[in-house]
Structure 1
Amino acid sequence: MSGEWIGTGKVRAREQASGLEIVIDGLTTQAKYYKPLVYEFFRKEWRGRRAAWGDHDVHIVMEHIGEPPWLDLDNLAKALLDAVKGYTFHDDAQVARLLVERVEGERERIVIRVSAR
């Protein structure tokens, strides 16, 4: 069962039985752009579950149209993990499994799924 989407701007999120799903609309080649964007969403709009202890799985998918943007996935992952830290888990050392991938999609966006193990 999926929860209702929270967020009205470029970032929205919802709680699901499997964990938290976050969607960021649009892409940029600057990974550092995402950290304050997502952090501000959580600070201002998020009222869902708070950070939990224990191991977590994180799956990040960057969807693009046509040629993929020139963006290092490791830099993207670090920026996004920093942005959700404190809201999904307390420290990124709790990430036991991290999968980051770039795929061709129907629209440009980033999808992050975080689940406790």
Structure 2
Amino acid sequence: MTAAVGTLTLAGLMWRIVAGDDPQLARGSGLLLFLLVVFAVRAGLGHRKARITVAVVTPLLLVMMVTDALRVLILPDLYGTPEYWVVTVLAIICSCTGLTLLFTPRSNAYVRARTAVLAAK
């Protein structure tokens, strides 16, 4: 679970580096990045609804990341440098890895146990 939270947070930070240079991307992805990081941390604490929110927000960000990576790859002179393309691809890989780790059987068992503890309080 910790690895999932770490990779999702890292993906959010890498994507913020790329989106920070493009005002159009920054406007559209700022709230999604904030939600990703906040709810990834909450999911790491065992909150089931936070895990579902991350599962919804991450694909939305992935669509933005993939389109940005293709845009930079096709028209590098207009939209960015190859370095930004590499960072975007790394963010895509981290997002996919983090989302996968968030729903492994061990993570499911952890969330079930934490939900039971939180419900007992």
TM norm structure 2: 0.26
Determine which structure has more spread, i.e. the larger CA radius of gyration: 2
Bigger fraction of residues in helix: 2
Bigger fraction of residues in strand: 1
TM norm structure 1: 0.26
